[in-house]
Amino acid sequence: MIDIRHLRKEYGTTVALENLHLNIPEGEVFGLIGPNGAGKTTLIRILATLMEPTYGEVTIAGIDAINDPLKVHPLIGYMSDFFSLYDELLVWEYLDHFARCYGVPARKRQRSLESVLELVSLDVRRDSPVTALSRGMRQRLCFAKTILHEPKLLLLDEPASGLDPAGRVEFREMLNQLRSMGTTVVISSHILTEMTGFCTSIGIMEQGRLRVSGRVDDILDQLQSGLRLEIEVLDETLRTTNLLESDPQVSQIVVNGVNVSCRFAGSRDELPELHRRIVSEGIALVSLAVRSDNLEEIYMQISRHEVA
């Protein structure tokens, strides 16, 4: 769906994006993760054809988005973190305006409008003025506008910023519905919990560079060079650490109270042997568990430059 090659964006002497390559297949939910100022918004604005890159190629559904931006517009829905609405309009008028802008035929307009209002749970506020909406409702209305014309690609820039936890859960449910309909979604956030369990692939950005990208499982496999172990002992962490350090397959040992975490390069079959060694040393072992990495841990590893 999206193919980016050698993308670069400079603002004067500042390099916002540097030599970015990215391929996002159709139907994917791609999470752009990174701290503020990493270049996420710049990338999304370039994809939305609102900004021209300094260099590079951007193809959306086979169309050159830089040279033919007008051809790309019907395919995309864009939502910025700045939920600007026309405050003078009523909720239905706002959606009707954008339905007209997107060229939704008059006979279909009313139906589309009602269905998106229902999807974002604003059907009861249909005739309210936009100014009377809470921040969460404004965000949902903006989202309703974004999906009104059934775009093939959704570009969401920090869509849940400023929402309360309940609002985030609701928002995630809405996105899940879209994902099930096969829409490709690019969503940026610096709040990792927003992305966990939702994105099928991710890209981690830092200082304008895409440090890693791909399907979440692939990245986990790539980063998990071995198993992450959590060991709990009874007040004998020093002996445990010494024992683990003597094992060439163990690395990244971190002590946290009575818990010791480390990375084990061997296979699961070799774990009973490690277990036996700990016990045979007379260490009071409470538990030894294999933990799986989540997005937050991947991000922290990458931002600590623990992976190349």
Q: Which residues bind another protein (CB under 8 A)?
A: 6, 8, 18-19, 48-52, 54-55, 66, 69-70, 73-74, 76, 78, 80, 82, 84-86, 88-89, 93, 97-98, 100-103, 106, 145, 149
Q: Give the SS3 label for residue 165.
A: helix
CB of 21 to another protein, least distance (A): 10
285 membership: H or E segment, kind and range? strand 285-291
Query: Residues 128, 134, 139, 140: is their CA dihedral positive or negative?
Result: negative
User: Would you say 125 or 145 has its CB closer to another protein?
Assistant: 145
Residue 118 Cβ vs another protein, minimum distance, rounded to whole Å: 22
Residues 6+ apart with CB under 8 A from 11: none
Angle CA(193)–CA(195)–CA(197) in degrees, nearest 5?
95
Smallest gap from residue 162 Cβ to another protein (A): 16
Residues ≥6 apart with Cβ < 8 Å to 247: 274, 277
What DSSP assignment string belongs to 235-264?
Answer: S-HHHHHHHHHH-TTEEEEEEETTEEEEEE
Of 2 and 76, the one with the shorter C-beta distance to another protein is 76
Which residue's CB is nearer to another protein, number 142 or number 243? 142
Task: Using the minimum distance from each CB to another protein, give the nearer residue, 141 or 262.
Answer: 141
At closest approach, how far in Å is the CB of 79 from another protein?
9
Choice between 6 and 276, CB closer to another protein: 6
Q: Is the dihedral of CA 34, 36, 41, 43 positive or negative?
A: negative
Query: Taking the complex as a whole, how short is the minimal distance between the CB of residue 69 and another protein, in angstroms?
Result: 7
